[in-house]
Structure 1
């Protein structure tokens, strides 16, 4: 290699983003050997064609990839390298979840606060309810409570509620055992999601509360702890009480409606409801899919939605048919099962001119 293409270790360090000491370490490790080592002085020189490998090595180390895996990625073809990176990320996330869970248990054990029994619920039912209701939550750094699940327990029922201000989902569960507790708090949604798999595999889950979190006690499984969110949950009951009367009610096959929404080309659309059936219209109102069979009572109505708002609300509804209760083009629509009312979702429309 001509000397003009070589650069001393300091210059190469600057171009690659690695320190000189890191380059010496990677050279000794066999990951990035210098192009030339001066036999007399021991000075190390690198070639311009080694910059890309050095930069990739640096990026892989930045995501905490071990040296053996780094070497495998650097020497692999593109597809195999991508697969190795994905495997590393999955392992890091798995390890992080284990650490997060153990840390939560350690923190919870720092205080001797008594656990208050809240309710005993069937695990598979509770797991489904958590997943269904949390579809209406959303991460919001400015308002973390919108990523939580509101849990309200009475002697007769346990109600789960979530909202992202555009949707609101709520489901009421009947306890598997009698309880005398009345309790309400907002639980971290992400921590509940990570516990869902264990909850689903447990026949019975006992929910116990402390001042800072809830414990999910499951037979033959390690207890899970989920922290409480201190922010005030939106007063959704006040909003529900203020809703006007339903003016239009339509019942339609859940699968048929979902298929129509999936095939619709736009991000926004309108539902045109008449006694002939239900039509999904494009934003310009000119393109219409085939009329969907539906049963309607009340006034004809055209109402517009974002796909990301209405689709999750319909997809999580229980049962083969969904019922939509509508109150006008600018009011929330209530989506529930046509024959089971324990999961209810409200979805906000957009204005007919498609502004938010």
Structure 2
């Protein structure tokens, strides 16, 4: 190899961002051997073509990737390397979440009084309710409370609420035992998701408030602790109380409505309610709308939604039929079960036509 293509270890270290000692280690491990070694002096020389490999190696190690995984990525094609990177990131994120959970449990026991008993709920019922309402959460910069689930206990029920500003879902659950305390807190949504499997498998879950979190006490499973979010949760009750009068009402089969939403192209769909039917259409005139039989009363109305808002609101409804309460083309629509009212979702409409 021509000498003008080679550089000493110090120059290569500067180009690649690796220290000279790290380069010696990677040379000995076989990950980045020098292009040439002077047989007399033992000086190591690297080629300009090795700079990219050295830089990638450094970046992979900065991600905390072990040597065996680094070697696999460096020797793989683009698709396989991407898969390996995603696999490593998922593992790191999972381990970080587990550490965070353990730290929260430890902090909850440091100098704090015993938890405050709130209510007892059947595990499968609580898990199903949490899963339904959590679909309305969102991670949004500057509004951390939107990623949380509001839990409230009263004299008669446990109420779960979440909102992403475009959707609001709230469900009441009848406890297995009468609530002992009136309490409210916004629970970390992601931590609650990780606890769902244990909650679902427990016949009875006792909710217990701690200083900075809430405990889910389970007889046959490990107790789970979820942190509370300190940020203020939106005043959803004011939103519900300020809703206008219903002008149009329709009852339609849930499965048929979901299928129609899934079959329409585009990010937005229109619901046209009139003449004992609900028609689902898109902004694309080349695709005909789907007309579904329905029980419809009130004024005819056409209203537009983002599919990402309407579909989950319908899919989480309880029972075979959904009831749509409409108040005008620019007002929130209430979506709930036609025969059970313990899960209610508000969905915000959008302006007519294609999304921008």
* Cα gap change, 1:352 to 1:81, in 2 (>3 Å): closer
Shift of 1:70: 1.5
CA contact (8 A) 1:279 1:288 kept: no
* Cα gap change, 1:355 to 1:290, in 2 (>3 Å): closer
Q: Which residue of 1 aligns with 2:226?
A: 226
- What CA distance in whole angstroms lies between the structure 2 residues aligned with 1:327 and 1:354? 22
1:10-64 CA-partner distances (Å, limit 9, x unpaired): 3323333323332222112221110111123322111233233223212221221
- What CA distance in whole angstroms lies between the structure 2 residues aligned with 1:230 and 1:223? 22
Shift of 1:272: 1.1
* 1:57-206 map, 5 Å: 57-206=57-206
Shift of 1:114: 2.5
CA contact (8 A) 2:248 2:325 kept: yes
CA contact (8 A) 1:7 1:47 kept: yes
SS of equivalent to 1:10: helix
Shift of 1:124: 1.3
CA contact (8 A) 1:304 1:354 kept: no
- What CA distance in whole angstroms lies between the structure 1 residues aligned with 2:222 and 2:94? 17
SS of equivalent to 1:293: strand
CA contact (8 A) 2:133 2:161 kept: yes
Q: Which residue of 1 aligns with 2:350?
A: 350
- What CA distance in whole angstroms lies between the structure 1 residues aligned with 2:91 and 2:104? 20
| CA RMSD across the alignment | 2.0
Select between 216-225 and 90-99 the one with higher mean Cα deviation: 90-99
CA contact (8 A) 1:317 1:336 kept: yes
SS of equivalent to 1:230: coil
SS of equivalent to 1:14: helix
- What CA distance in whole angstroms lies between the structure 1 residues aligned with 2:81 and 2:242? 56
- What CA distance in whole angstroms lies between the structure 2 residues aligned with 1:352 and 1:82? 40
Q: Which residue of 1 aligns with 2:263?
A: 263
- What CA distance in whole angstroms lies between the structure 1 residues aligned with 2:19 and 2:285? 61
| 2:250 is the counterpart of 1:250 | yes
- What CA distance in whole angstroms lies between the structure 2 residues aligned with 1:24 and 1:37? 12
- What CA distance in whole angstroms lies between the structure 1 residues aligned with 2:333 and 2:11? 64
- What CA distance in whole angstroms lies between the structure 2 residues aligned with 1:118 and 1:29? 58
- What CA distance in whole angstroms lies between the structure 1 residues aligned with 2:48 and 2:347? 57
CA contact (8 A) 1:214 1:226 kept: yes
CA contact (8 A) 1:151 1:187 kept: yes
Q: Please, what TM-score do these two structures have when normalized by structure 2? A: 0.93
Q: Aligned pair count?
A: 356
- What CA distance in whole angstroms lies between the structure 1 residues aligned with 2:287 and 2:82? 42
CA contact (8 A) 2:137 2:163 kept: yes
SS of equivalent to 2:141: coil
Gaps of 5+ in 1: none
CA contact (8 A) 1:35 1:45 kept: yes
Gaps of 5+ in 2: none
SS of equivalent to 2:85: helix
* 1:36-51 map, 5 Å: 36-51=36-51
Q: Which residue of 2 aligns with 1:304?
A: 304
Shift of 1:330: 0.9
* Cα gap change, 1:139 to 1:192, in 2 (>3 Å): same
Q: Please, what TM-score do these two structures have when normalized by structure 1? A: 0.93
